[in-house]
Amino acid sequence: METRYNVMKKVREINSAEEKTLLAYTCVHGCAQNEADMENIRGMLMEMGYGFTDTPETADVIVVNTCAVREGAEFKIYGNVGAFKKIKEKNPNLVIVLCGCMMQQESVARKIKHSYPYVDIVFGTFNIADFPLMLYKKLTGTKRVFEMLTEGKIVEGMPTVRENKFSASVSVMSGCNNFCSYCIVPYTRGRERSRQFDAIINEIKGLAKEGYVEITLIGQNVNSYGKDLADKPTFAKLLRAVNDIEGIKRIRFVTSHPKDLSDELIEAMAQCKNVCKQLHLPFQAGNNKILKLMNRKYTKEQYLALVEKIKAAIPDISLTTDVIVGFPGETTEDFEDTMDVLHKVKYDGVYSFIYSRRGGTPAAKMEDVISEEEKHKNLERLLEEQKEIGYENNLKYMDNVYEVLVEGKSKSNDNMLSGRTEDNKIIHFEGDESLIGTFVNIKITKIKTFYMVGERI
């Protein structure tokens, strides 16, 4: 780490020779882990003397952290990179950096190298900590830098710049061992690697001292945390330890794989007062044949039994999920099992997409049995019925008072503030910006499908 900080110091010295503060534009696509990685990249940029800008046209360095989960995200990223060409023509000294999951794929890196010659630095998910050295090489004469490691270790002590000053995401592990047949993540993020227990706790204690009140523990499969560590600490043990940290009032976590959600974890969630009564539990499909093709390692019946166990232990829990529609081999009749799970569980939120074929995964070689039109009809039906379920779930909040952590201005109305309840419901209400980052009590006065409106009491 000392070597990395020495390199950052050298880049800072190079930048200090400029007549102005150099600016970085950062853009992140994809999951919470990508967001956390970008916070580290911003931290390194700050240590190297960069300020930040919201517009790529005013930047001296552009960094895009990419996502490879869906094809649409890749097309969007290629479009963004194409637009950077004109900016570089006006500013030849601009350094363009692409990193993340998409760049971890050899075919993508090769395409960038040959088709986008104005991209200066490309690196994958395993060598984020080496970014300062890559930038130093570029600034000291190397024409282009392409570095993709095939494996890596957790690097502790990296600098971090968080945009939010009261709610923070903390990575507890990276990678995944499940190899769901549709998922590129085990290939781009590698096998599961857990952070040391004490390192996580010390980071969160530091955040608490800085005034953070909400922590989200993140990983591709947090339920597997600790299995690769010598003393095998469980995620439940970690959750209890975070719950004991003074100043942290809310604890969330994503994402949980159903096959690894233990009774110990359910008990910890029920007993820890600061752990939010909210759980994101992807089921992806309701049909057992499709679940087997997906390599999800559970059946519809096992998933529903797990949900019943969770609801029995935590009656007021809010459940959300992920669903893939139109997986290869799925018929419209198979899809009825997915709808059955939807109706039985009655989720508060569903994130659903049509299956996106990812080269290099087993599912990419599987054949469809229904048309794209049928897939879209099934997705529309799922989304419409979930709207009704979500609205019905929200009705119980009417006229009740809830503690809300105020996150900022409403995106649709500058005169309103937005925040979230413990169970992750979005609440809009009138209030002064001075309330941002604080807890307020809100009485719900209006119910909508995806949010609610209330008044401060």
Domains annotated on the chain, with CATH: 2-147 (3.40.50.12160), 164-276 (3.30.750.210), 298-396 (3.30.750.200), 398-456 (2.40.50.140)
Handedness of CA 169, 174, 180, 185 (dihedral sign): positive
Non-local CB neighbours of 90 within 8 Å, separated by 6+ positions: none
CA torsion, points 404, 173, 164, 100, in degrees to nearest 10? Answer: -130
- The angle subtended at Cα 377 by Cα 371 and Cα 378, nearest 5°, is 95
The torsion angle over the Cα atoms of residues 321, 324, 325 and 327, rounded to 10 degrees, is -150
Percentage of the residues of the chain whose pLDDT score is greater than 90: 91
pLDDT value at residue 377: 98
Q: Which residue is associated with the tokens 């996106």?
A: 356
Mean pLDDT of 120-138: 96
Residue 4 has pLDDT above 80, yes or no: yes
Q: Structure tokens of 432?
A: 């002064």
Residue ranges of alpha helices (H) inside 91-160 are: 106-115, 131-139
**Residue 74 banded pLDDT, cuts 50, 70, 90:** confident
pLDDT at position 414, please? 84
Any residues with CB less than 8 A from the CB of 378 and at least 6 apart, and which?
325, 326, 332, 335
- Over residues 371-399, the pLDDT tens digits come to 999 999 999 999 999 999 999 999 999 99
Q: Report the pLDDT averaged over residues 335-354.
A: 98
Q: What is the pLDDT of residues 193-243, one digit of tens each?
A: 999 999 999 999 999 999 999 999 999 999 999 999 999 999 999 999 999
Q: Are 248 and 208 in contact (CB under 8 A)?
A: yes
Among the residue ranges 142-151, 159-168, 269-278, 332-341, the one predicted with the least confidence is: 142-151
Q: What is the mean pLDDT of residues 152-181?
A: 94
Q: In sequence order, what are the residues at sequence separation of 6 or more whose Cβ sits closer than 8 angstroms to the Cβ of residue 40?
A: 128, 129, 158, 159, 160
**Residue 423 · residue 316 · CB < 8 Å:** yes
Helix (H, G, I), strand (E, B) or coil at 193: strand
User: Which residues are within 8 A (CB) of 158 and not within 5 positions of it... i.e. 6 or more apart?
Assistant: 1, 40, 43, 44, 128, 129
Which band of pLDDT confidence, cut at 50, 70 and 90, is reported for residue 62? Answer: very high
Reported as a single tens digit per residue, the pLDDT across 284-297 is 999 999 999 999 99
Give the number of other CB atoms < 10 A from CB of residue 367: 6
What CA–CA distance (Å, rounded) separates 299 from 24?
47
Please state the rounded mean pLDDT for residues 44-48. 97
Residue 76 above 90 pLDDT? no
User: What digits encode the pLDDT tens for the residues 142-163?
Assistant: 999 999 888 888 899 899 999 8
CB burial string 372-398: b at 16+ within 10 A, e below: eebbeebbeebeeebeebbeebbeebe
Which residue type does 162 have?
A: R
Q: How far apart are CA 24 and CA 18, in angstroms?
A: 14
Q: Is the pLDDT of residue 45 over 80?
A: yes
pLDDT in tens, 237-262: 999 999 999 999 999 999 999 999 99
Residue with tokens 């523990």, as numbered in its chain: 217
Q: How many residues would you count in the chain?
A: 457
Rounded to 5 degrees, φ, ψ at 413 are -150, 110
Write out the two tokens for 395: 């009705």
pLDDT at 70 (0 to 100)? 82
For residue 426, what are the β-bridge partners?
Answer: 420
Q: Is residue 216 reached through a cis peptide bond, with omega within 30 degrees of 0 on the bond before it? A: no
pLDDT per residue over 417-426, tens digit each?
A: 999 999 999 9
Q: What are the φ and ψ backbone dihedral angles of 380, each rounded to 5 degrees?
A: -60, -40
**At what angle are helices 32-47 and 131-139 packed, to 10 degrees?**
50
Q: Output the average pLDDT for the chain.
A: 95
Taking alpha carbons only, the member of 17, 45, 35 closest to residue 131 is 45
Half-sphere exposure of 285 (CA within 13 A, CB side): 30
Q: Which of 329, 384, 322, 330 is CA-nearest to residue 353? A: 322
The β-bridge partners of 324 are 353
Torsion sign, CA atoms 165, 167, 171, 177: negative
Please check whether residue 238 is in contact with residue 172, taking contact to mean a CB–CB distance below 8 angstroms.
yes
Question: Distance between CA atoms of 415 and 392, rounded to whole angstroms?
Answer: 28
CB 239 within 8 Å of CB 265: yes
pTM: 0.93
> Hunting for tokens 């995200």 — which residue is that?
73
pLDDT at res. 1: 56
Distance CA 27, CA 80 (A): 10
